[in-house]
Amino acid sequence: MAHGADLYVSPVGNDAWSGKIAAPNAVKSDGPFLTLGRAREAAREAGPGTTVHLRGGDYPLAGSFELSAGDSGTKGRPVTYRNFGKEVPRLTSGIDVTDRLGPVTDAAARGRLQATARDRVRELDLGAMGVAHGGPFPDLFEGGGGILEIYHDGRRLPMARWPNSGFATMERVVSGSSQLNAGAGAPPIFGYRDDRHAAWDVASGVWMAGYWRVPWTIQAVRVKAIDTRAKTVELAARVPGGIGSKYAKAQGSGQEPYYVLNVLEEVDRPGEWCIDFGARKLYVLPPEGRRGRFVIADMADPMVRVAGASNLALRGILFDISLGGGVAMEDCSDCAVSSCVFRNLGSMAVQVAGGARVTVSGCDMHDLAEGGVSVSGGDRATLSPCGHVVRNNDIHRYGILKRTYAPGIDVGFGRYAKDWRPPVGVTVANNRIHDAPHAGILYGGNDNVIEYNECYNLALDSHDVGALYSVMDWTSYGNTVRGNFIHDSPNANGVYLDDGDSGDLVEGNVIARVSVGVFIGGGHDNVARDNIMVECKKSALHIDSRGTSRGYDLSHGILSNRLASVPYDRALWRDRYPTMPAILKNPELPTGNVFERNAAVRCPKVMNQSGKPEHFRDLVNRGNEAFQGDPGFADEKAMDYRLRPGNKISDRIKGFRAPAIDRAGLVVDADRAAIPPRETPGAGRSIDFDSTVDMDATNRQRPR
């Protein structure tokens, strides 16, 4: 019977050696293995309780490192892959192309480059390399468009774009809006302002990415034609819903933002690059100051794929540079990903689908093209919890390419997921989530707990979203949002229960300097109590009856389909959520909602109520109070929102339970040895998501 072993792997090891000691022994050939694959074979032979120690250095991957049920441990005796001592093993799928870069040889390409950059730009022949993700882009896409990325000394380089930062704005919609010529199938055409549009070679391929209709969905579209006399752009594909702000007249608002990407004429900033899809060549203007190494990411599979395993742990590993994600776990149980660093990835850092009791803890995740952690599991039919835990992770600078609906943490969010699997019984706790263009946590499902997280600097270039956001499900009862510290995200609502979302408890949160503190958009049986809202831009609380005007009744496709997907009328569901069946009598009305004992500190309004008074006949609105000045915070300048003894809030709001704000955010524990300093938050702060980023100090906490 196998009893486990300590095995070792090293970038200078040898698969012919025994793998039983950390350093090579020339006499006995008793040194570490070279590859993870050989270590996996030996770990399977050794059995439960085996630890595979990875020495520091690079472990190149040409495909996913795969683990399965045969790699499982047992309860109390897991199989562990972890760093050796304080060394940092780096898994990477990057391909070094430094020596393949040369001067631009194509005369037409040289002619398109700006004179100041022409002799400095370097060329890479992707066709000769046989890359898998050299394009072209689809006519319409979100995110990265499925093409490779390029890095210089560990820094993601920005794709060439105009303007170099921020957005241009449409001058007017000419045709193809949701209100103007939509029925005739007219092509999307809009007027532009800047004469720079005349410089681009449409025949070679020009794409524009924009918030064409709504401020929460950004899509890239190929350009069919640019008319320089009329100063108009015709797009090659119809944008869902048409172009032009949904909140404006048929010609749009004149403020719809967009930018142009992957245009050779705009390779003008050090570090910028683009691909000529026809010629299969990449052009890059090297960063200034040092030569460095150029690496491309072309592998789209997860770096580590785990299927059906149990009692397996990954610890203290750096996942760096890949077009895919870091770790994907499917139908696994009692597994853990801890004290790892995930950076420079093209997909979600960690994906957990199905299974039970998987923990993602103490990890740093940053500079991600998409999001941080996605998690689903449990059984909604029986309300059996999965028990997954996402805890104590620092997740930031994500959504770099997929700027919306790629959150820091995705808890079975359904509206835009290809495989909608709302979870039951996930815990998301003590994470720090910040500096991103859209949402912090998206969630759906039942009986999930989202507690003691810190979220800030979110929605940096989008609007009408929540730092914590759930949407369009009458059946997502039992979720608890408590003890979170949400702040400095003026374009976002703090907790946003959108478009009929129902059955949540929002209590004991501190929400500062956002648009609206707690926003209920037409849903049912939501309870918001004992929250403190500080300097919210619009109001502390909001509720509306949008279902009456938008047709949120039993004929509504998404809402009714989600209702039909669960046994809401069976005894188990009726007992667990006794008020839910009653909403079906008038599903378009916002019934059963409660706002009680909430404090609005220096907010323009305590409550904003949008709809006819008769729509809110059963709304419970009690004990919500407005405060000016300092209501008794411990140290507001230091963002310490604990309440001092004798504070005004506890004095005026009878029965108020002070939020446990001291428990929010990252903690030092067995999986996190140190807490990195909080980046300076502040209203109006933004990031240039297309700039190069210094990675030299990203291993901010050493795994124990």
The pLDDT tens digits of the residues spanning 431-466 come to 999 999 999 999 999 999 999 999 999 999 898 999
CA 36 – CA 304 distance, rounded (Å):
11
How confident is the model at residue 415, as a pLDDT? 46
What is the pairing mode between strands 527-529 and 505-507?
parallel
CA 524 – CA 528 distance, rounded (Å):
12
How confident is the model at residue 691, as a pLDDT? 41
Structure tokens at 549: 């005007």
| Percentage of the chain modeled with pLDDT above 70 | 94
Quick check: 420 pLDDT over 70?
no
Domain with residues 168-261, CATH architecture: Beta Barrel (2.40)
- How many alpha carbons lie under 13 Å from residue 150 in its C-beta half-sphere? 30
Please give the torsion angle defined by the CA atoms of residues 511, 514, 515 and 520, in that order, rounded to the nearest 10 degrees: -30
Q: Where does residue 195 fall: left (phi above 0), alpha (psi -120 to 50 degrees), or beta otherwise?
A: alpha
Read off the pLDDT of each residue in 493-507 and give the average, rounded to a whole number: 97
The pLDDT tens digits of the residues spanning 60-110 come to 999 999 999 999 999 999 999 999 999 999 999 999 999 999 999 999 999
| Of 324, 326, 315, the residue nearest 359 (C-alpha) | 315
> Is the peptide bond between 136 and the residue preceding it cis, with omega within 30 degrees of 0?
yes
Read off the pLDDT of each residue in 161-178 and give the average, rounded to a whole number: 92
DSSP E strands in 281-406: the ranges are 281-284, 294-297, 304-307, 312-315, 318-322, 327-330, 336-338, 341-345, 350-353, 359-361, 364-368, 373-376, 389-391, 394-396
Bridge partners of residue 443, in order along the sequence = 411
Position 325 confidence tier, pLDDT thresholds 50, 70, 90: very high
How confident is the model at residue 629, as a pLDDT? 96
How confident is the model at residue 694, as a pLDDT? 34
| Of 519, 561, 491, 465, the residue nearest 216 (C-alpha) | 465
Read off the pLDDT of each residue in 180-199 and give the average, rounded to a whole number: 83
The pLDDT tens digits of the residues spanning 241-300 come to 899 998 888 889 999 999 999 999 999 999 999 999 999 999 999 998 777 999 999 999
Q: Which residues contact 45 (CB under 8 A, 6 or more apart)?
A: 2
| Of 445, 471, 487, the residue nearest 681 (C-alpha) | 487
Read off the pLDDT of each residue in 201-225 and give the average, rounded to a whole number: 95
CA 439 – CA 497 distance, rounded (Å):
13
| Of 144, 128, 66, 56, the residue nearest 95 (C-alpha) | 128
Enclosing H/E stretch for 497: strand 492-498
Q: Where does residue 184 fall: left (phi above 0), alpha (psi -120 to 50 degrees), or beta otherwise?
A: alpha
| Amino acid code (one letter) for 475 | T
CA 103 – CA 396 distance, rounded (Å):
36
Listing DSSP states for 577-634 in one string gives STTGGGGGGSTTS--S-EEES-EEES-S-SEEEES-GGGGTT-EEES-EEE-S--SEE
How confident is the model at residue 414, as a pLDDT? 58
CA 58 – CA 94 distance, rounded (Å):
10
| Of 585, 500, 591, 503, the residue nearest 550 (C-alpha) | 500
Asked if residues 149 and 369 have their Cβ atoms less than 8 Å apart, the reply is yes
Cβ-in-10-Å burial (0-12, 13-18, 19+) of 74 comes to middle
Asked if residues 499 and 468 have their Cβ atoms less than 8 Å apart, the reply is no
Read off the pLDDT of each residue in 571-584 and give the average, rounded to a whole number: 93
Read off the pLDDT of each residue in 670-695 and give the average, rounded to a whole number: 62
Asked if residues 703 and 668 have their Cβ atoms less than 8 Å apart, the reply is no
How confident is the model at residue 291, as a pLDDT? 79
Position 643 confidence tier, pLDDT thresholds 50, 70, 90: very high
How confident is the model at residue 6, as a pLDDT? 97
How confident is the model at residue 679, as a pLDDT? 72
Q: Which residues contact 33 (CB under 8 A, 6 or more apart)?
A: 7, 8, 9, 10, 13, 14, 15, 17, 19, 39, 42
Q: The tokens 């007249």 sit on which residue?
A: 249
| Of 438, 404, 424, 681, the residue nearest 573 (C-alpha) | 424
Please give the torsion angle defined by the CA atoms of residues 509, 510, 514 and 520, in that order, rounded to the nearest 10 degrees: 30
**Average pLDDT taken over every residue of the chain:** 93
Asked if residues 53 and 84 have their Cβ atoms less than 8 Å apart, the reply is yes
Asked if residues 417 and 353 have their Cβ atoms less than 8 Å apart, the reply is no
Bridge partners of residue 620, in order along the sequence = 594
DSSP E strands in 84-128: the ranges are 89-92, 95-96, 102-103, 122-125
How confident is the model at residue 183, as a pLDDT? 46
Structure tokens at 570: 């069976």
CA 603 – CA 635 distance, rounded (Å):
19
Residue 362 Cα to chain centre, angstroms: 17
Q: The tokens 């300093």 sit on which residue?
A: 677
CA 495 – CA 590 distance, rounded (Å):
17
| Of 478, 470, 502, the residue nearest 426 (C-alpha) | 478
Residue 290 vs residue 625, higher pLDDT: 625
The pLDDT tens digits of the residues spanning 18-34 come to 999 988 876 678 899 99
| Of 179, 287, 329, 298, the residue nearest 241 (C-alpha) | 179
Indicate the SS3 state at residue 482. Answer: strand
- Out of 83-92, 185-194, 370-379, 385-394, pick the least confident: 185-194
| Of 519, 454, 503, the residue nearest 483 (C-alpha) | 454
Read off the pLDDT of each residue in 574-591 and give the average, rounded to a whole number: 93
CA 439 – CA 535 distance, rounded (Å):
20
The pLDDT tens digits of the residues spanning 190-203 come to 999 999 999 999 99
Read off the pLDDT of each residue in 649-666 and give the average, rounded to a whole number: 97
Domain boundaries, the chain: 1-60, 96-160+264-295, 168-261
How confident is the model at residue 411, as a pLDDT? 96
The pLDDT tens digits of the residues spanning 160-169 come to 999 999 999 9
Maximum average pLDDT range among 174-178, 347-351, 417-421 = 347-351
Quick check: 388 pLDDT over 70?
yes
Structure tokens at 317: 């590993």
Bridge partners of residue 612, in order along the sequence = none
Quick check: 687 pLDDT over 50?
no
Q: The tokens 């991600």 sit on which residue?
A: 368
Read off the pLDDT of each residue in 194-220 and give the average, rounded to a whole number: 95
Quick check: 682 pLDDT over 60?
no
